[in-house]
Amino acid sequence: MPIMSRPACVRPVPSQSAPLRPRRRMLSAGGCLVALVLVLTPVLAGCDGAAAQGSTPTGAATTQALVTVPDVVGMKGDVATEALEKAGLTQTPSYTDVDGKESVWKPSNWSVTAQDPVAGTQVPADQAITLTVNHDSAKAAASARASASAAAQASASASAAAAAEEQARQEAARAAEEQAQQQAQQEAQTEQSQTQEQSDGSSGTYYADCADAWAAGAAPLHQGEPGYRSGLDRDNDGIACEWKPARTESDQTQVQEQSDGSSGTYYKNCAEARAAGAAPIYRGEPGYRSGLDRDNDGIACERK
């Protein structure tokens, strides 16, 4: 505030006449008072204006309202702007590409992925909000890639399941086939064994045991000969009843009765008779016996 000097009061020179002195003094005092008022009025007015100007911003700052930032994540860019305006925010938000590659020209083609400040924050009404956005085409492409990947995975899973099912089916079929082959082989072996045990299929010859074969003069029996069967071939060498069982006294008597008592000729079997050139042997001839005459027609060892 400028300091102005106070004007000095001019004192009138006293007149020599005594009656006019009191009145002149009153006029001098009134003039000084008027001059003082005129000087102080502008000064006081300037101080009041400065005080008024200094107090106005402070009052406005203390009375400025705060706005709660709404949640706009997931909205389109233009819809998010409208939501911020409805909440009381006066500044247009700024947009930032989430990938930092593009500029946002048309907010309606972008979707909000993040916001700063976050929802629920108290901010002044004139504060600008920063929105991080993602272009919808990129989002659609990412969704398409995700869908394609999911479809590929589903297809791969289905193919793997089908392959596993087919493999299991083939393995089951192979197992069933192997089991059928084994069963058929076992049945064939059983049938062959039964056939061999019963006879060779040509003459129907059957010996209950080796003693019977020896008594008939057929032992030893070679594989393929009438009467041979695996049940008589104990060592499975292709020759059955190669060992003559011990004879009882009655068996020896029977053999002697059957053989020719005059010459004492005896053939253990037809092979021996053939080897001796005696086959066929007719009843009554030396070496004939019923054990060699298998069909009891009176002719022994008639067939080779």
114, β-bridge pairs: 132
Shared-domain flag, residues 35 and 85: no
CA atoms within 13 A on the CB side of 142: 6
State the average pLDDT for the chain.
77
Better pLDDT: 1 or 224: 224
pLDDT band, residue 117 (cuts 50/70/90): very high
> Do 75 and 135 sit in the same domain of this protein?
yes
Q: What is the mean pLDDT of residues 100-125?
A: 91
- Say what the pLDDT of residue 193 is: 66
Q: What is the pLDDT of residues 28-60, one digit of tens each?
A: 656 666 667 676 665 555 555 544 454 555 444
What integer pLDDT is reported at residue 174 of this predicted model? 94
For residue 115, the cross-strand partners are: 131
Q: Are residues 81 and 109 in the same domain?
A: yes
d(CA 94, CA 74) in angstroms, rounded, equals 16
Would you give the end-to-end CA distance of the chain in angstroms? 164
Same domain, 121 and 79: yes
* Same-domain status, 72 and 52: no
Is 53 in the same domain as 112?
no
Share of the chain residues as helix, strand and coil, in percent rounded to the nearest 5? 50, 10, 40
Across the range 8-33, mean pLDDT stands at 53
Which of 139, 156, 191 terminates a domain? The answer is 139
Q: Which domain holds residue 88?
A: 68-139
Residue 166 lies in a domain: no
pLDDT above 80 for 121 = yes
Residue with more model confidence, 112 or 16: 112
pLDDT of residue 179: 94
Q: Give the CATH number for residue 84.
A: 3.30.10.20
Q: Could you give the CA distance from residue 69 to residue 80 in angstroms, rounded to a whole number?
A: 11
Asked if the structure places residue 128 within a domain, the reply is: yes
Q: Within a domain: residue 114? A: yes
Same structural domain, 131 and 72: yes
Contact (Cβ atoms closer than 8 angstroms) between residue 119 and residue 70: yes
Task: Return the pLDDT at 31.
Answer: 64
Among 63, 97, 121, which residue terminates a domain? 63
The answer to whether residues 94 and 132 belong to one domain is: yes
Q: Is 267 exposed, middle or buried (0-12, 13-18, 19+ CB in 10 A)?
A: buried
- Percent of the chain beyond pLDDT 90? 30
Domain for residue 205, yes or no? no
Residue 89 has pLDDT above 60, yes or no: yes
Say what the pLDDT of residue 102 is.
Answer: 78
Q: Are 299 and 284 in contact (CB under 8 A)?
A: no
- Please count the helices (runs of H) and the strands (runs of E) in the chain: 6, 9
Residue 114: the pLDDT is 95
* Same domain, yes or no: 82 and 130: yes
Whether residue 281 is contained in a domain is answered as no
Cα–Cα dist 247/225, whole Å: 24
Q: If you average pLDDT over residues 89-101, what whole number do you get? A: 89
Q: What's residue 243's pLDDT? A: 73
Q: Is residue 39 in some structural domain?
A: yes
pLDDT band with cut points at 50, 70 and 90 for residue 62:
low
* pLDDT for residue 17: 46
Same domain assignment for residues 81 and 117: yes
Of the residues 122, 139, 156, the one at which a domain ends? 139
| 77 within domain boundaries | yes
Residue 44: predicted pLDDT: 56
Number of domains in the chain: 2
Distance from C-alpha of 196 to C-alpha of 233, rounded to nearest angstrom: 11
Q: Distance of alpha carbon 50 from its chain centroid, rounded? A: 80
The verdict on 52 and 94 lying in the same domain is no
Do 55 and 28 belong to one domain?
A: yes
Question: How much is the pTM?
Answer: 0.30
**Res. 210: pLDDT tops 50:** yes
Task: Say if 1 falls within a structural domain.
Answer: no
Q: What are the pLDDT digits (tens) for 234-284?
A: 888 999 888 765 555 555 555 554 444 445 789 989 999 888 888 889 888
pLDDT of residue 251: 52
Q: How confident is the model at residue 25 (pLDDT cuts 50, 70, 90)?
A: low
Provide the pLDDT for residue 115: 95
